[in-house]
Structure formats: structure tokens, C-alpha cells
Amino acid sequence: MRKLVATVLSLFVMAFATVCFAETYEMTYEAPHFTEGLKNDQALSETFTTPHGILKIQARKLWQAKSENQLHFIVWIDDKRIDDAHFPKVANGYTFRVFKNTSNSELFYSLESIDRACLYGYSPINKKLEVYIDSQNYAHEAGATPHIVVLKNGDLVLAFEKSNKSKRYKFNWDANKNWFGYSDLGAGWPSISRDKK
């Protein structure tokens, strides 16, 4: 009987520890459809303090660029350029968000359009900006709009919205692999706007 009580108590403690120390995220910055308001050659520039240094992100709308290279995205950490990319012009512009892992203060950055959503983060091991999540790599219904958001419960999710229903994937940081693991939460969820923070 004592062994049974000890076993049950041990399981309770492990379950309690898992719940208490579950990884959560919070959105710390959002610029919805920011490229729509940019004039030619105008930029959105933001600076963020990270565990790895001062990170500066600049997204510039290029004046005479072809439509597939209209947004120039540059990232620096402590004044060292770590990423330089071009993105196409898209309907309704791009939305930019910053998410913070509340357990270790690590920051992640999403750039999304009606066609694609990506989550980026600085890798101190590779000394560059990594694409941790790309919506094109996850199964979804054709024509669904991708969103990377934090839910009210602190979960980081990728949702594909179509007709006020969504398919969702939940992401958790795997410190051993230095990458995100995910769970397929399935389809039939209500609109993400009801559940996001």
C-alpha cells in the first residue's frame, strides 16, 4: 500500500511540475499589414533586446524593384548583418510579429502574408537568422490563410484559416535539438481570432 501511495504521489508531483513549468509564449510586438502603409523606399525599423545582443530589423519597400523583390528585409545583431533577403509584393501586405518564450526570454519573429507565414529566430550556434517554421511545409487546405500566433493559454501555433475554420499546429522549443517540435492539433477549430492573445 505504501508503494502504491508513493507511486501515485510521484506521478502527481511529476504532472504538477510539467504543468507548472510548461513552456509559454507571449506576443510583444505586432505591425499588421505594415507594408501597405510604406511609401516607396520607406522602411520599418525596430530594435529588440535579446539574450544574444541588440537585434535590429529593417523592412524597406524598394522603389524600382521588380514585384518579386519589392520588400528588402535586413537583420543585424550588435551591428553585424546576419540576414539579408528580398520578398515579393503581396495582396494586403505583410504582418510582422515578435514572440517571446517566457521561460528563457528568447525572441522569435514572424513575417506573414495571405499566402505564407514564417517564424524566424537567431541561432547563436550558427550565428544567423534561422527559418524555424515555414507554413509551406505543413499540410493544409488549398486557399487557407496561414497565421502564426500565441493563444490565450500561451501556446505558439500555426493556424490555417478558411471560412472561419482552422487547422492548427502547436509548437514547442526542443532545447536538445535547438529547433521547434510540433503537434498536429487537427482541423475544425474556430477562427484563430477568438483564441489568440
The predicted-structure confidence for 104-157, as pLDDT tens digits, reads as follows: 999 999 999 999 999 999 999 999 999 999 999 999 999 999 999 999 999 999
CA dist., res. 150 & res. 192, Å (int):
10
Q: Is the pLDDT of residue 66 over 80?
A: no
pTM, 2 dp: 0.85
Task: Give the contacts of 57 (CB within 8 A, at least 6 positions apart).
Answer: 45, 46, 47, 48, 73, 74, 75, 96, 109
**Bridge partners, residue 56, by sequence:** 47, 76
Q: Is the pLDDT of residue 12 over 60?
A: no
> Is the CB of residue 117 less than 8 Å from the CB of residue 140?
no
Per residue in 52-62, pLDDT (tens digit) is 999 999 999 99
Rounded to an integer, the average pLDDT of 174-197 is: 92
At residue 13 the predicted structure's pLDDT band, cuts being 50, 70 and 90, is very low
- 79: cell is 551591428
pLDDT of residue 22: 67
Rg (CA), the chain: 19
